[in-house]
Amino acid sequence: MESNVSKPHHAPDLRPPSRSRDRRVTSSVRVIKNAVAARRQAKAKTRARYAVAPRAAAQTVFVGDIGGTNARLQVWTADPTDPSSATMTFEKVYGTSGHPTFESVITDLFADAGVDAGSVSAACFAVAGPVANDRCQMTNISWIIDGAALQKSFEISSVKVINDFAAVGYGVLDLKPDEMVTLNQGTAKSPTGPIAVLGPGTGLGEAMLFHNGSSYDVVPSEGSHADFAPRGETQRALQAFCEATLGECEIEQVCCGSGIQRIYDFLRIHRGQETKPDLDPAGVTDAALDGTCELCVEAVDVFLQILGAEAGNLALKCLATGGVYVAGGIPPRLMKVIGEGGELKAAFLREECRYKDVRAGYPLHIILNDKIGLAGAKVYAMRQLR
């Protein structure tokens, strides 16, 4: 029989929660939130660590080496963050005689290379003539190459105009090992040391490069118009011959293409062989290379002695621990005579000199790349992309 006694009734606990329980809940929520945030941060760091930065779009660059007879032009594409990725897409030599202005050459280049107007990011043109404010009035033709005008006319972001031998200086920075012959390794070689560059061709070009902490800057020079400093009786007589016939004797006048011919003409008189035939510079070097004329052999030897001495003098003036680079069209042609150094290296080192150990510290190279000016224009143009 069921009991009529009712079971006790438990009323709900309506008391407010205790502060200690509040603190426990709040603390737990905070821990969870912190853990979630930490996990998100860790994932973000992981994604960042393995993320591949997007490559910058390739940009188009024009470069050129402009002489009195030909304009040698190239088109390159490059990632501005990685100049070493540059790829040449077009190259052509334009005759200056067929173009009334340089602008007409650039118009043809756009068409021939299939490049759209307004799509070129930078250009650099190395020119044979004096340059001021990216502008040059060419010496042997009527062209005016004006960087600002070209930039505006063809919608090119940046146009630089530099002297052709300054371009050779910048080209040294782009040389590959198989594009030069090393005659002296150099006991004081430095990867950031000053660099000396000289090159006999139609004239004699000279320049120096100095490191600014991140890259090299080219400093042009008119050192080739300094006085010739002869060594020995034959060279002193050569100096007197030049002074009598020219009124002066600059180093350039005995250390370039016409200088070789001048040395030969002097030797015909000096050696009492005036009946020898008249020869142009190419004729003298050809006869020296094939050994058919002893006087031509001597003329080339004297030329190389003068070139080696001037290379050594330039090295001493700028402390060229970064190297001395001999450019120009003549030295590569004479490699059969130069061999492992010959008269050029001997004059450079000058063993009888009290500074012979200092001279031996400077590396000496012959540049074989006949497009070194274009290479330098490319180096300078790529810098405009940064």
C-alpha 76/C-alpha 384 separation (Å) is: 13
Higher pLDDT, 15 or 263: 263
C-alpha 292/C-alpha 290 separation (Å) is: 6
pLDDT at 39: 61
Q: 150 pLDDT band (50/70/90 cuts)?
A: very high
Per-residue exposure over 176-210, b if at least 16 CB sit within 10 Å of its own CB, e if not: eeebbbebbebeeebeebbbbbbbbbbbbbbbbbe
Tell me, yes or no, if the pTM score tops 0.85. no
Least confident of 7-21, 138-152, 291-305, 327-341: 7-21
- Mean pLDDT throughout 332-354? 96
Nearest to 357 by CA among 188, 147, 159: 188
Mean pLDDT over all residues of the chain? 89
Domains and CATH numbers, the chain: 59-168+374-383 (3.30.420.40), 176-368 (3.40.367.20)
Least confident of 46-50, 261-265, 283-287, 347-351: 46-50
- Mean pLDDT throughout 126-139? 92
With contact defined as beta carbons under 8 Å apart, do 123 and 61 qualify? yes
Taking the CA atoms of 369, 373, 379 and 385 in sequence, report the sign of the dihedral they define.
negative
pLDDT at 139: 81
Q: 57 pLDDT band (50/70/90 cuts)?
A: confident
- Mean pLDDT throughout 101-114? 97
- Specify whether the backbone of 382 is left (phi greater than 0), alpha (psi in -120 to 50) or beta: alpha
Helix H, strand E, coil C: the string for 149-178 is HHHHHCCCCCEEEEEHHHHHHHHHCCCCHH
pLDDT at 52: 46
pLDDT at 263: 98
Nearest to 255 by CA among 235, 274, 278: 235
What confidence tens digit (pLDDT) does each residue in 265-318 have? Answer: 999 999 999 999 999 999 999 999 999 999 999 999 999 999 999 999 999 999
- Edge-to-edge strand list for the sheet holding 159-163: 82-95, 70-79, 59-66, 120-127, 159-163
- Judge whether residue 42 has pLDDT over 90: no
Helix H, strand E, coil C: the string for 197-240 is EEEECCCEEEEEEEECCCCEEEEEECHHHCECCCCHHHHHHHHH
Higher pLDDT, 12 or 310: 310
pLDDT at 83: 74
pLDDT at 25: 44
